[in-house]
Amino acid sequence: MAEPPIGIDLARDRDLRGRKYHAWIRRGLMTLIAVIPVLALFNAFGQHPHTAKASSSAATLSVYAPTRLRGGLLWEGRIHITAHRDIKKAILVLGTGWAEGMSMNTIEPSPVGQASDNGKLEFTLGHIQRNKSFILFMQFQVNPTNVGSRPRTTVLYDGNTKLASINQTVTIFP
Amino acid sequence: MDLAIRTFVVFWFLLLLMRITGRRELSSLEPFDLILLIVLGDAVQQGLTQDDYSVTGALIVVIVFGVMQVAVSYLNFRFPRLRPALEGYPIVLIEDGNLIQRNLKRERLTPEDLAKEARGQKIESLNEVKWAVLETSGSISFIPKSDS
């Protein structure tokens, strides 16, 4: 038998003694890695939006926005209010999860007034007539350092009367 | 801070990907592979620095990559038990002119691939080869028979 080249151990490098299972480790890891984009297709890492709804006799509040996001993404949150009766002074109170670590690019239409409600964002929308809708479009970008999960609440008031609320959790992947 | 963490994570992920992709895929740079390499670099860069255009940010990324590279090299040197995971071992593909089919199959190599590499090293026939070894770098070393 020919002398093997320098540094070659025939048992290890030719007969693969003790290395036969290495190929299976490699294949297993490859399969695991391939699972990641498949999970992504099923919205595991965002940013497909979905609708959350809450209704009362006075109004229906719905939030159409992604709850899973990634650093740097541009995304839209759409809040749809349908009044079942006249809402004299519609006020939308958004929890800090909406704004924390986000760049707010625009809010359309601009609220009549903006204030802080105990640290939350308070947007006064004004009068919404019975059977009419009000849609608030908000455009955001996720700041890259904003990673983790936090609650995101949306509450609709008529003056001081709470009409509907939606509690969500937003998760931001790095 | 998060820049260093992102670089650390990306470094280990790239190392893992390179190790499990198979060494031949890494060493062959066909035109399409070259394009993929550029696209890969661009995709990784976006995730690493994102909107950070600063020199400080660039320095942090480059330094972490450099330190990690040295660390892996040191681990490879200092702890032989880690060598199969970090670098792997060579694989003998031809012994005395005979193809070792099991090893070729393991590395997804065909006799045609071997012949192509051999031609590149001015070897006319695989029968002239005493040893062919797939190195950890992905290159194939051919040792001709002494009478050829």
Residues of A in contact with B130 (CB under 8 A): 2
- Asked if the C-beta of B92 comes within 8 angstroms of chain A's C-beta atoms, the answer is yes
SS3 at position A33: helix
Question: What is the residue-averaged pLDDT of chain A?
Answer: 92
- Asked if the C-beta of B97 comes within 8 angstroms of chain A's C-beta atoms, the answer is no
**Which positions ≥6 away from A21 have C-beta within 8 Å?**
none
Tens digits of pLDDT across chain B (148 residues): 788 999 999 999 998 988 888 766 656 677 888 888 889 888 888 888 877 888 988 899 999 999 999 999 999 899 988 888 888 889 999 999 899 999 999 888 899 989 988 998 889 888 889 999 999 888 899 999 875 5
Asked if A7's CB is within 8 angstroms of B91's CB, the reply is no
Rounded CA separation A35/B76 (Å)? 29
| pLDDT score at B27 | 62
Asked if B106's CB is within 8 angstroms of A23's CB, the reply is yes
Asked if B84's CB is within 8 angstroms of A8's CB, the reply is no
Q: Which residue of B has its CA nearest to A143?
A: B51
| pLDDT score at A46 | 82
Give tens-digit pLDDT for A35-58.
999 999 998 998 899 999 999 999
- How far does A102 lie from chain B, in Å, by closest CA? 14
Asked if A33's CB is within 8 angstroms of B50's CB, the reply is no
**Cα distances (Å, whole numbers) of residue B134 to A16, B3, B15:** 13, 36, 19
- Model pTM above 0.80: no
Residue in B95, B130, B143 closest to A14 by CB: B95
- How far does B91 lie from chain A, in Å, by closest CA? 5
Asked if B133's CB is within 8 angstroms of A8's CB, the reply is yes
Give tens-digit pLDDT for A86-139.
999 999 999 999 999 999 999 999 999 999 988 999 999 999 999 999 999 999
CA angle A17, A23, A26 (to 5 degrees): 140
- Asked if the C-beta of B29 comes within 8 angstroms of chain A's C-beta atoms, the answer is no
- How far does A63 lie from chain B, in Å, by closest CA? 29
Asked if A147's CB is within 8 angstroms of B2's CB, the reply is yes
Give tens-digit pLDDT for A59-97.
999 999 999 999 889 999 999 999 999 999 999 999 999
| pLDDT score at B108 | 87
Percent of chain A with pLDDT over 70: 99
Q: Is the pLDDT of residue A11 over 80?
A: yes
- How far does B37 lie from chain A, in Å, by closest CA? 18
CA angle A118, A120, A122 (to 5 degrees): 100
| ipTM reported for the complex, 2 dp | 0.71
Rounded CA separation B122/B81 (Å)? 37
